[in-house]
Structure 1
């Protein structure tokens, strides 16, 4: 893949909130998880974990915890990507909390791109009640849910989202 191919690939991905309901192939799930395991992480601590949710009842409960965002219910799979503080704090102390959240975010990004590479669609959902998700999935206290990644075959938007010009984000040398 050359740089032009990569840029086209990245621009073609979009958040999708409407899914066909067709189940994911187990090979797709394993591919997405394998891609996450290649993500860089602070000190190679890999301070992330994921709960794969395909059960319809649990997806419904996740959607309710996600402020009733129905795409979480409708996607055939939801990857609940979590920060694992213990893995990074053992090496970095309090700073390890931030590193674990960063590790989870990078792993989730890789998962989202892996889904796109498999001609699947996804939507990163960050708005949810953490305590409800924690209780629903039985997460230990040192595990923080960071994102709900809904994945499935969906209907992408007809028009790409308008993006800010890159120069509005960039500061050179100083602010």
Structure 2
């Protein structure tokens, strides 16, 4: 893949909130997880974990925890990506909390791009009640849910979303 193909690939990915409900193939889930496993992490601690949620009742509970965002219920799979503080704090102390969140977000990004590479659609959801997600998934205290990644076959938007010009984000040398 050349750099033009890569940029085109990125530009064709979009958040999708309408899904057919068709189950994911186990190979798709394995591919997404294999891609996440290649994500860089602080000190190679891999301070992330994921709970794959396919049962309808659990997706319904997650949708409620996500302030009734329907796409969480409608997607055939939700990857609940979590920061595992113990893995990074054992090496980095308090700073490891930040590193675990960073590791989880990078892994989730790789999962989202892997889904796109498989012709699937996804939607990263960060708005949710952490305690409700924690309870639904039985998460231990040293694990923090960071994102709910809905994945499935869906209906992408007809028009790409407007993006800010890159120079509105860019500072050189200093702010």
| TMscore range, shorter length | over 0.9
Distance in 2 (CA, whole Å) between partners of 1:156 and 1:26 is: 23
Q: Hey, what's the Cα distance between the residues in 1 that align with 2:36 and 2:10?
A: 17
Counterpart-to-counterpart distance in 1, 2:24 and 2:122: 12
What is the match of residue 56 of structure 1? 56
Q: CA deviation at 1:60?
A: 0.3
2:26 match: 26
Counterpart for residue 46 of structure 1: 46
What SS does structure 2 have at the residue aligned with 1:83?
Answer: strand
Cα shift at 1:30? 0.5
- Total equivalences in the alignment: 175
Q: For residue 3 of structure 1, what is the aligned residue in structure 2?
A: 3
* Unmatched tracts of structure 2, length 5 or more: none
Could you tell me how far apart the structure 2 residues matched to 1:163 and 1:133 are? 31
Tell me by how many angstroms 1:143 deviates: 0.2
SS in 1 for 2:164: coil
5 Å-filtered alignment, 1:1-175, equals 1-175=1-175
Distance 1:135 1:58 in 2: 11
CA offset digits 1:27-49 (Å, max 9, x no partner): 00010011000000000000000
**Aligned partner of residue 52 in structure 1, secondary structure:** strand
Task: Output the CA distance in 1 between the equivalents of 2:153 and 2:71.
Answer: 12
In the alignment, the residues of structure 2 paired with residue 62 and residue 135 of structure 1 have an alpha-carbon distance, to the nearest angstrom, of 10
- Work out the CA distance in 2 between the residues paired with 1:71 and 1:136: 17
**CA distance in structure 2 between the partners assigned to 1:94 and 1:78 by the alignment:** 30
CA RMSD between the two structures: 0.3
Q: Give the CA deviation at 1:166.
A: 0.2
Structure 1 segments (4+ residues) deviating >2 Å = none
Tell me the secondary structure at the aligned position of residue 144 of structure 1.
Answer: strand
